[in-house]
Amino acid sequence: MSKNKINIIHSTFVPLNIENVDTDQIIPARFLKGTTRDGFGKNLFRDWRYENDDEATPKKDFPLNQPQYNGTILVAGKNFGCGSSREHAAWAILDAGFSAVVSSFFADIFKNNALNNGVLPVTVSEKFLEEIFSQGNEATLTISLPEQSITIDATGIKERFDINSYKKECLINGYDDIDYLLNIKEDIINYETQHA
């Protein structure tokens, strides 16, 4: 399955100024019963989005329910995606239309899951994150993967982010790790023979 290709993302953003957002909040366990990858977006942040689990009563103060916030970039507080390894969290974020998540800190497994699904995790400094949160709802961000940079367009403030060059190539070209691994099957078999 080749993924979304990512190059330059230019968009408004949805702010979620909460720290330690765990994957149980991103997608609660009771919605993990699917056997396909689709359809998780409607339950993204389910329990923060609706009163009493009822889609008829959205919580008005939750950013995803506020029409002034939209865009393909989610900006969240530090330690985003901690907890369970459920890839459903990345699927829900992708399915809800996001192609990048910005935070000052990502949990390891979530970061991998995001990368494996063509969602770009962008790690910025605490200061830069605060700077983004202080912007109004019309502000746009530009994330350039080739340049490894993120810019607040209104102010021109820019920061570089890290990503290993292999992963960067994969995202730009829409390759999968699995394509790479399948190509080195012979090495794997050799390894097995040597270690048997």
Map the footprint of other proteins across residues 111-140, applying CB under 8 A: 112-113, 116-117
Q: Work out how close the CB of 186 gets to other proteins at its nearest, in angstroms, rounded to a whole number.
A: 10
- By DSSP bridging, strand 140-144 and strand 8-16 are antiparallel
Min dist. Cβ of residue 130 to other proteins (A): 8
| Total residues in contact with other proteins, by rule CB under 8 A | 55
**Which CB atom, from 71 or from 77, has the smaller least distance to other proteins?**
77
- Applying the rule CB under 8 A, the residues between 74 and 93 that interact with other proteins are 77-79, 82-88, 90
CB closer to other proteins out of 24 and 131: 24
Q: Is 188 in the site for other proteins (CB under 8 A)?
A: yes
DSSP state of 33: -
Rounding to the nearest 10 degrees, give the CA dihedral for residues 179, 182, 183, 184: 130
Tell me how far the alpha carbon of residue 94 is from its chain's centroid.
Answer: 7
Q: Which is nearer to other proteins, 65 or 142 (CB)?
A: 65
From the list 62-70, 92-100, 134-142, 175-183, the region that binds other proteins by CB under 8 A is: 175-183
Per-position DSSP letters for 102-171, written without gaps between them: EES-B-HHHHHHHHHTT-EEEE--HHHHHHHHTS-TT-EEEEETTTTEEEETTTTEEEE----HHHHHHH
Between CA 132 and CA 125 the distance in angstroms is 11
Q: Convert residues 5-34 into a mask of x (bound to other proteins by CB under 8 A) and - (unbound).
A: ------------xxxx-x-xx--xxx-xxx
| Contact indicator for 95, 115 with CB cutoff of 8 Å | no
Instruction: Give residues in contact with other proteins (CB under 8 A).
Output: 1, 17-20, 22, 24-25, 28-30, 32-37, 47, 53, 77-79, 82-88, 90, 105, 107-109, 112-113, 116-117, 164-167, 176-178, 180-182, 184-185, 187-188, 191-192, 195
